[in-house]
Structure 1
Amino acid sequence: MKFIDEAKIEVAAGRGGNGAVSFRREKFVPRGGPDGGDGGRGGSVYAVADENINTLVEYRFVKRYQAKNGEKGHGADRYGKGADDIEIHMPVGTLIRDADTDEIVADLTRHGQRVCVARGGKGGLGNLHFKSSVNRAPKQATPGEEGESRSLLLELKVLADVGLLGMPNAGKSTLISAVSAARPKVADYPFTTLHPNLGVVRLDENHSFVMADIPGLIEGAAEGAGLGHRFLKHLSRTGLLLHVVDLAPFDENVNPAAEALSIVNELHRFDDELAEKPRWLVLNKLDMLPENEHERKITQFLAEIGWDYPQPDDRFTFDLETPRVFCISALAHQGTQELVQTIQRYLDAKRAQMPPQVTEEMAVETASAVNHTSNILKPE
């Protein structure tokens, strides 16, 4: 099955049961009084984050989820039975919006998170609640409340620490396969990657992070050209972007600097907040260039894109603000270890600056993403 990351469903909670109008009728008990019970509560609908699910494909086929109504009240002070709640299991990273108001209903970021998306109606009151000194035989009861009903938009955003972006054939899939256990399809033609891939990069027993690869972008992606525009949202949860650039394109008429600038432009057109995320340059495929051409090519590229940031000095403290440039060959594994080690230091330094509570929440989300990664790598 395909990797499905968007869906629309209808959810409806159950209606509460009506209250009962009843009077006690027993031999030798005259004027027994009201004994009508309350109606039962209607069933609610809950969304549950499940790390064992990796796509929203199920919600392309089943569109409506309806909880049962509560049972009506009975005589002899018997209350109606409340209806069971129903749970809808969704992948970790699912953002749920109200289709009519665009309000964010829930953001499922950790395994086991449970959020009510449609609350069941309360049961009505039986007539036993209405007796008083002046009204000994009340004949009124209240009906059960209607349950909530709404249309929901489901949007899956993968959880990752680092996101890869770049033009098709820039070498993103080769890079993620070189530094992690992910094995995305790699070929010498554009748009080899058709869905997001996640890989866990492990430096040692205590240090690891999650890297996400999305389909390559082309000019006009923000307006729907190519494939990458549908998956740009997956980068919104990442803390660091790696902009992978092919320094040795097969077509001599292709200008790597122009392509790099077009990617930056597409990010701004899609979402300014995404474009403002920390972004490092990864100049790839140096093994395809003569060794004596490396320095000239790199210098020329950086000058054309206006990159005048010096490489920061990390001997004493790790610089979180200055963007970085890495020159690698993902295919030959040249420079990849330095890249992942620097990323790990960046992530560690970033977490050290955060309040303990936020750090703990990020650790939970990262652990959930790591557990979920093996499923993402093999979409159903």
Structure 2
Amino acid sequence: MSSHNLKAENGRPGMSAKRHGRNGSDLVVRVPPGTVVRELDAINGSNGFEGLLEMEMSDMKMEDHLSPRGILVCELNRNGQRAEVAQGGGGGRGNVAFKSSQNRSPTTADPGEQGQRRRLELELKTIADVGLVGLPNAGKSTFLRAVSSAKPKVASYPFTTLRPHIGVVNADGKLQDKRIFTVADIPGLIEGAHDNRGLGHEFLRHIERTAFLVYVLDVSGEEGSAIKAFNVLQNELEKHEPGLSQRSRCIVANKMDSGGAVVENLNDLLDELGCQIDIFPVSARFETGVEDVIRHISESLP
């Protein structure tokens, strides 16, 4: 985690003939949508929120304001959204404020006040409409390549993706649908991710804000492995955030071009889950079946 000291410009002193000093310019720090701001010093009891004059807060539960890392100050989720997190100091009074009938030429003046100092943590939670979740090597990156112009790394070893990738899906180009939505390739989860095993919370948090989940399951493994993978993913999401596993979702039964038990695994999924969740057989490698998934997502998003 990198650390930066940021300081706004100082104001200028007043001058003769009752001229005010110039105000210092605001320091504007540009951050991407999805940035969460927390105050770290608040852990030690020095929150100092009295200087927060204008701040747009997203809807959240009160308990969400508290974190082991500090107190939540604001979330910036939209382009153009602004929040004031530290207020500059007020200007002092010049000599003329101390002028009186007994003191016609005062030399007394008030200094300007110090601005606020804050220790803030900025955390980026990826915002995407759709989150791809799956065990390592399920084919999430390949699926993202198939539905968008994003080019995440694809390889045949676990944890190929070490940070989320976001692709833009233009349904108009595939389905004569005007909708455009974003898809995030969340790095592979493993059993125990909610306890921070593997890449753990580092990536589970990126799923929290997606409106739709796509479970990418590898159906090329041994019989029954796809259902087991789905149950593991559901369990990890639910333990990370209750209710997350029930968000709008579908299953991509990927690698249908492989041999082995693909037909058996697909049938197991349909028999076990077909009445609860939409399941789409797909070969992301050859881009077959992806249009049905895009259409379903486009129709399901709010």
Question: TM-score of the superposition, structure 1-length normalised?
Answer: 0.64
Secondary structure at the aligned position of 2:295 is classed as: helix
Indicate yes or no: 2:268 matched with 1:300.
yes
Deviation, 1:139, is: 7.4
* 8 Å Cα contact 2:224/2:268 also seen in 1: no
In the TM superposition, what are the counterparts of 1:137-176 in structure 2 within 5 Å? Answer: 141-176=109-144
1:275 aligned counterpart, secondary structure = helix
C-alpha change, 1:279 and 1:228, in structure 2 (3 Å) is farther
2:9 to 52, 58, 68: 68
Q: For residues 273 and 75 of structure 1, what CA distance do their matches in structure 2 show?
A: 65
Paired with 1:98 and 1:277, the residues of 2 have a C-alpha distance of 30
Aligned mates of 2:74, 2:279 — CA distance in 1: 37
1:211 maps to a residue whose letter is: V
In structure 2, the residue matched to 1:342 is 296
1:108 aligns with 2:80: no
User: How many residues in Structure 1 have an aligned counterpart in Structure 2?
Assistant: 271
Distance 1:189 1:172 in 2: 13
| 2-structure distance, mates of 1:343, 1:185 | 24
Give 1:128 shift: 2.9
Deviation digits for residues 279-329 of structure 1, max 9, x if unmatched? 2222112222469x62x43332355xx53635xxxxxxxxxxxx4222222
In structure 2, relative to structure 1, the CA distance for the partners of 1:178 and 1:235 (3 Å cut) is same
Alignment of 1:1-40 (within 5 A): 7=1
> What is the deviation of 1:95?
1.8
Quick check: 1:96–1:154 contact (8 Å CA) kept in 2? Answer: yes
Query: Helix, strand or coil for the counterpart of 1:283?
Result: strand
Instruction: Identify the residue that residue 234 of structure 2 maps to in structure 1.
Output: 264
Secondary structure of the corresponding residue to residue 176 of structure 1: helix
Tell me the distance in 2 between the aligned counterparts of 1:245 and 1:222: 19
**Using the alignment, how far apart are the partners of 1:285 and 1:298 within structure 2?**
11
Q: Structure 2: which 5+ residue stretches go unaligned? A: 43-69
Matches within 5 A, 1:36-51: none
- Partners of 2:217 and 2:252 within 8 A in 1: yes
Aligned counterpart for 1:248 among listed residues 209, 217, 220? 220
Contact kept in structure 2, 1:214 and 1:228, CA below 8 Å: no
Amino acid in the other structure paired with 2:73: V
CA deviation after TM superposition for structure 1 residue 140, in Å: 6.1
> Structure 1 residues 134 and 275 mapped into 2: Cα distance closer, same or farther (>3 Å)?
farther
Larger RCO: 1 or 2 (CA < 8 Å, sep 6+): 1
Structure 1 residue matching 2:19: 3-state secondary structure: coil
- Per-residue CA distance 1:49-103 (angstroms, 9 max, x = gap): xxxxxxxxxxx2x511122332333443132232222222323322222223333
1:84 matched to 2:25? The reply is yes
Task: Indicate conservation of the 8 Å contact 1:122/1:144, yes or no.
Answer: yes
Task: State the 1:273 CA deviation.
Answer: 4.9
Going by fraction, where is strand more abundant, 1 or 2?
1
Q: Which residue, out of 89, 99, 106, partners 1:121?
A: 89
1:241-282 deviation digits (Å, cap 9, x = unpaired):
101111112xx4983322221111111222225334222222
Q: 1:173 to 1:129 in 2, by over 3 A?
A: same
Shift of 1:215: 0.9
Residues 161 and 240 of structure 1 are in contact (CA less than 8 Å); yes or no, is this contact kept in structure 2? yes
- d(CA) in 2 for partners of 1:131, 1:277: 69
TM superposition shift of 1:145: 2.3
| Alpha carbons 2:37, 2:72 under 8 Å: kept | yes
Q: Which residue of 2 aligns with 1:331?
A: 285
Which residue identity does 2:249 align to in structure 1? Answer: R
Is 1:286–2:256 an aligned residue pair?
yes
Q: Secondary structure at the match of 2:83?
A: strand
Q: Which moved more, 1:102-111 or 1:143-152?
A: 102-111
Q: What amino acid sits opposite 1:307 in the alignment?
A: L
SS across alignment from 2:128: coil
Secondary structure at 1:104 match in 2:
strand
Q: Quick one: percent identity of the two aligned structures?
A: 43
TM-score calculated relative to the size of structure 2: 0.79
Which residue number in structure 1 is paired with residue 209 of structure 2? 237
Aligned AA for 2:9? K
